[in-house]
Amino acid sequence: MTWKSLKKSTPAALVILNIGAPLMAVHFGMTGAVKKKVQELQAQIGASAATQSSGTSWGITGTYFMAFHTCRDGSTSCGPQLHDTYVAQSTDSANWSSISGFAAFQGSVPDVIRKGNKLYMYNTQGVARYDMDTSSFMATVSISISSANGALDYYADPSPILDGNGKITLFYLAHDSIPNYDPAGCPASVPCTQYFRSAAEIDDSDGTQFLADPGNRAEIYMCSTCAYSSASDPDIFMSSTAGTYFLFISHGSNVQLMLSSSLKGSYADNPSLADGRLTGAGGVPAGFYNSSSGNYWVFVHSGSPAGIKRAAASSLNSSLSDSQFSVVISSSSGIYGLGAPAAIESPGFAVNSP
């Protein structure tokens, strides 16, 4: 779930979509009192992010990064407004460790990417950045996605990838600006269609402003008798074939795999998989093709308390069983001092390479 709402005794309901709250809130006809509450929440978000020292050097030694979130109070379940984002590192994608100097910051459903010598950490609050040259941490700021006519596109669950020109392309779930519903489902009742889109980074915005690409990357029809009744959390990555891209979609504890011959083309189910279903071993996936080993790495979260699991496979043309996955980060891993019963969820994978 990537939303929250607050109802006040004011004529209008304050709705904060946890995807850049300051941007989204202004579209609901707020009263003065509600605007004041938005400003208070913005200050709280800034204060949370500001706990990270801007001059603290991170001890980055890993080849790979993994972003994830957990409940701030260490519980097994909480709302997204109580999630904190962490970033771990690894040299082999199976064994993960803390990054010295890193401090968690507010946000849910995170993903991470390196562009040049800067890390971009996206989550439901926006994007935080870390400059590896200057050891400067830039606190979370909202991101915006504009359509060609200048209107803002409502979005959830952003997933970044670098295009052929080294600019960030953001894949995301588009949704209606309707209060009190989880964008993973239909705004009212099924049936409905979920739309997944992409957007190009605007020059000189440093990963904070995007222009929506024409059309939809994927459309998923959902109904009570359909293969899927929810759809969210896209994850985009390159396949083993140059110029071909894979798009994961999360459906509860199931993962759908879609393919396209171009980054900003139309994505369709992998024809080798029934309904494109790759696995039922967990949800909110992340993927990567490791050319050195010739294997795909597939990450999901599952369990109670939830942990992150990984499977390695030479092909994604066959479904992956639960037995092919092994836990790589959990509350027993000791990472960042997180202990039981903390749930560790929502993996986001990146390579530590400019």
**Looking at 7-21, 102-116, 210-224, which range is the least confident one?**
7-21
Question: How confident is the model at residue 18, as a pLDDT?
Answer: 38
Average pLDDT of the segment spanning 14-27: 34
Q: Are 198 and 213 in contact (CB under 8 A)?
A: yes
Please tell me the total count of domains within the chain: 1
Average pLDDT of the segment spanning 1-19: 32
56 has which bridge partners?
Answer: none
Question: How confident is the model at residue 298, as a pLDDT?
Answer: 98
Q: Which of the four pLDDT bands, split at 50, 70 and 90, describes residue 30?
A: very low
**Looking at 34-38, 192-196, 253-257, 261-265, which range is the least confident one?**
34-38
Q: Which of the four pLDDT bands, split at 50, 70 and 90, describes residue 224?
A: confident
Q: Which of the four pLDDT bands, split at 50, 70 and 90, describes residue 216?
A: very high
Please determine, for residue 319, whether its predicted confidence score (pLDDT) is greater than 90. Answer: yes
Residues 91-130 have pLDDT tens digits of 999 999 999 999 999 999 999 999 999 999 999 999 999 9
Please determine, for residue 4, whether its predicted confidence score (pLDDT) is greater than 60. Answer: no
Please determine, for residue 69, whether its predicted confidence score (pLDDT) is greater than 90. Answer: yes
Question: How confident is the model at residue 155, as a pLDDT?
Answer: 87
Both tokens of 340, joined, read: 């039981």
Question: How confident is the model at residue 36, as a pLDDT?
Answer: 45
HSE at residue 182, side-chain half, CA atoms within 13 A, is 12
Please determine, for residue 33, whether its predicted confidence score (pLDDT) is greater than 50. Answer: no
Please determine, for residue 14, whether its predicted confidence score (pLDDT) is greater than 60. Answer: no
Residues 261-310 have pLDDT tens digits of 999 999 999 999 999 999 999 999 999 999 999 999 999 999 999 999 99
HSE at residue 255, side-chain half, CA atoms within 13 A, is 30
Question: How confident is the model at residue 182, as a pLDDT?
Answer: 82
Question: How confident is the model at residue 45, as a pLDDT?
Answer: 43
Please determine, for residue 6, whether its predicted confidence score (pLDDT) is greater than 90. Answer: no
* Count of residues making up the chain: 354
Q: Is 206 exposed, middle or buried (0-12, 13-18, 19+ CB in 10 A)?
A: middle
Question: How confident is the model at residue 5, as a pLDDT?
Answer: 27
Task: Return the residue matching tokens 């401090």.
Answer: 103
Please determine, for residue 215, whether its predicted confidence score (pLDDT) is greater than 80. Answer: yes
The closest alpha carbon to 331, from 37, 96, 41, 44, belongs to 96
Start-to-end C-alpha separation, the chain: 32
Average pLDDT of the segment spanning 52-73: 89
How many other β-carbons are positioned within 10 Å of the β-carbon of residue 181?
15
Please determine, for residue 225, whether its predicted confidence score (pLDDT) is greater than 50. Answer: yes
Please determine, for residue 54, whether its predicted confidence score (pLDDT) is greater than 90. Answer: no
- Cα 268 from Cα 247, distance rounded (Å): 9
Question: How confident is the model at residue 53, as a pLDDT?
Answer: 57
Residues in Cβ contact with 233 at an 8 Å cutoff, skipping those fewer than 6 apart = 109, 157, 159, 173, 184, 248, 249, 250, 283, 284, 285, 346
Query: Mean of the per-residue pLDDT values for the chain?
Result: 86
Residue of higher predicted confidence among 248 and 179: 248
Q: Is 354 exposed, middle or buried (0-12, 13-18, 19+ CB in 10 A)?
A: exposed
Three-class SS string for 92-127? CCCCEECCECCCCEECCCCEEEEECCEEEEEECCEE
Question: How confident is the model at residue 150, as a pLDDT?
Answer: 85
- pTM (two decimals): 0.86
Please determine, for residue 349, whether its predicted confidence score (pLDDT) is greater than 60. Answer: yes
- Cα 38 from Cα 316, distance rounded (Å): 45
Please determine, for residue 23, whether its predicted confidence score (pLDDT) is greater than 60. Answer: no
CATH at 193: 2.115.10.20
Question: How confident is the model at residue 183, as a pLDDT?
Answer: 86
Residue of higher predicted confidence among 331 and 54: 331
Please name the amino acid found at residue 88.
Answer: A
- Cα 61 from Cα 126, distance rounded (Å): 26
From residue 181, give the alpha-carbon distance in Å to each of 3, 78, 220, 284.
Answer: 7, 17, 18, 18
Question: How confident is the model at residue 28, as a pLDDT?
Answer: 29
Question: How confident is the model at residue 60, as a pLDDT?
Answer: 98
Q: Is 321 exposed, middle or buried (0-12, 13-18, 19+ CB in 10 A)?
A: exposed
Domain that holds residue 244: 3-351
59 has which bridge partners?
Answer: 100
Please determine, for residue 164, whether its predicted confidence score (pLDDT) is greater than 80. Answer: yes
